Each structure stands twice: as structure tokens, then as C-alpha cells.
Amino acid sequence: MTTAPRPRTTTRDPETLTRRLTAWLGTRLPGARAADATVPDSNGMSSETLLFDIDHPDPPVRNCALRLAGDPAAYTIFPRYDMARQYRTLRLVADRTDLPVPRTFWLEENPAHLGAPFFVMERAAGRVPPDVMPYTYEGNWLYEATEAERARLEAASVAILARLHDQVPVKEAEFLDTPGNGSALHRHVEAQRAYYAWVVDGRPHSPVIERGFAWLAEHWPADPGETVLTWGDARIGNIVYDDSFAPAAVLDWEMAALGPRELDLGWMVYLHRFFQDLTESSGQRGLPEFLRRDRIEGRYARLTGHTPRDMEFHTLYAALRQAIVMLRVAYRQVHFGEVPVPDDADALILHRDTLEAMIAGRYW
């Protein structure tokens, strides 16, 4: 299979970041130095991650991860990065649930130190299902696991959503509410419309994305459902697993929001399907029995007593949200000269055929 070059994930120099981080660290922990700093291969294209150790006789933690807001001069994936919001979300989930989220230590909102706001948390040890090449391809630890091991991982991952949705008091998560009028779901979708408008400002529009928004309006749920705290980026690629295939840390909370439970369920279902469909299109088998929609929905219902509903709506919405992000990533590649300006914006969306099949009612 021929693939486009992997998009760059940062425009920052790790050595420069490390020097500036050491200077800042001394203001929080006198005498401390940032050591052995690395940028992980899985570094995302939104908030950036720097892994480092604290060199100090008595550090609060030795192995750390720093989450840094995207460089505003580097054609960021999202229009705004609220690191205080992410930090507060992690603290809330740690305080009110039994989920394994990293301990947080310091929040720095002054961009003068590293060029953007950031926070520091404990680094979790373990393994993460890879995105590149996806875990559905041969040759990685999850693909090579036994069916029983993958079943344990799947069950534990769905349980994370059940526990999050049931354990966090919504009143305490109101800082994550999306502004606007109407239900939490309505405001969430309107925020995605605004994000799409930002992505295509001055760039070619995507007909398939716009048809997707029209489909949502025509198939709006009669009851938007109970409002809970949703993780937002609910996928196994954002979980660190230990050697027993149990979650050791739940990461990446920048898309957390209030909304119906199905926002997270649809995202978990579709983000696996995205990789599975991509794998099958390259002629490989992938993991067709893993993270199937019926199994996710059934397990979640048994754990919570809530039967997922309107899942065609929510899985299509997940595919639509993924398409908007992918379009922005592609336009970022255009910006940096990594790919040419497209004649057809929809050609930049890897799962265009899937999204069209969902809109036509012939995907599931």
C-alpha cells in the first residue's frame, strides 16, 4: 500500500525545550534539572508531549510527561488549546473516579517559559496500541496477542467509559460545558460546525462533510439522552496498558466535554473501525472480531444498565468529526509543502468511502 508521508508532529526543537524547561523547573523545585528528554514517536499533532526525567535528590516524581499547547505559529490542528482546562479535567477524574489517570504536578499558564502554556504529570509505564502502523496491522504487540488477551483489554477499555460516565458528578464538570443553546448534544454538534468552518476558511470545502452535517440534522435523536462527562477522545490508542492487558493510564483529555454517553461509545466504535477498514483495504485481515460495535454496546449496557441508542447517528458523527480533523491535518501538510494543493478536498479524507456509505445507509 502506498501512503502519504507521515505529517510532522512538531516544529519545536527538543533540546531547546529541555534547556528552557530546566530553567522553569528550578522555579518550582530548586536545583532540579530536566534530563533525558525525548519526543515520543506517537506524539500527536494537537497538544505536544515531551517525556523527561527530573534530576533532583528528592523529586515528587522521577519520570514525567509534559503536555504543551500547540505552537500557534505552526498551523495548529485546533484553534484553541486550553491547558488549564485539561489539567482541571485530569484532577477532577482523579478525585472523583477510580480510573487510572496520571498524577498531575504543575500547571504553567504563562507562555513565556516554553512558548505556550503546559502542565507536567507523571509518566505512565506500559504499552500503547500504535497508530502508525495501526495496531490492526501485523507485527505489533496487540496484533500478536492471544484472543483472550485482547478480550481482556477490550473489556477493561469499555469499563473505563462506564466508570467515567457513572462516577463523575456532572455538576462538578460544568466547566466543560459547550457554550450555546439547546441540549448538550446540539451544542456539541454546533461546535463541530464552527470547527469545520475554521478548517476550511480560505481552503476548499468538503462536500462529504457537509452532506454528513445535513444527514445529522435529518436524523436527529428524538431524545438526546442523559448528559455525562465524556472523555472525548475515547480510543484504545489513548490508553497505556500494563503487561496483563489492564489499563495503567488514561490519557489525552483535551476533547473532554459534557454530552450523551453515546458520544464516547460512537467514538470508540468508529476509531477502531477506521483502522480496521484501512487494514482490510490494504489486503490484510486486521482484527475483525475485536472491538465490534455489538460487543461494545452489550458490555456497556451490562455495566451501566444504560442501553446505547441512536448509535448509527453517533458512529456517523464520530466518522464526521474524524473527517474534519483529517482535513485539517491534510491542510497542515499542504501548508508545510508536504503534499500538493488538492483538486478534490474529499480525496484528503481516508475514510471518505466509509462516510459516504454511512450517509447512504449501507455501511453497517
Active-site residues: which are they?
233
User: How far is residue 277's CA from residue 355's CA, in Å, rounded to a whole number?
Assistant: 12
| Contact assessment for residue 50 and residue 68, using Cβ atoms and an 8 Å cutoff | yes
| Contact assessment for residue 270 and residue 323, using Cβ atoms and an 8 Å cutoff | no
Positive or negative, the Cα torsion across 12, 13, 18, 20?
negative
User: How far is residue 95's CA from residue 89's CA, in Å, rounded to a whole number?
Assistant: 10
Question: What are the backbone angles phi and psi of residue 299, rounded to the nearest 5°?
Answer: -65, -45
Question: How many helices and strands in the chain, by DSSP H and E?
Answer: 9, 9
User: How far is residue 245's CA from residue 57's CA, in Å, rounded to a whole number?
Assistant: 33
- Helix residue ranges, H only, 29-139: 83-96
Cis peptide before 121 (omega within 30 of 0): no
User: How far is residue 317's CA from residue 35's CA, in Å, rounded to a whole number?
Assistant: 42
Closest by Cα among 197, 363, 353, 191 to 263: 191
Cis peptide before 83 (omega within 30 of 0): no
Cell of 10: 512538531
Alpha-carbon Rg for the chain, nearest whole angstrom, is 20
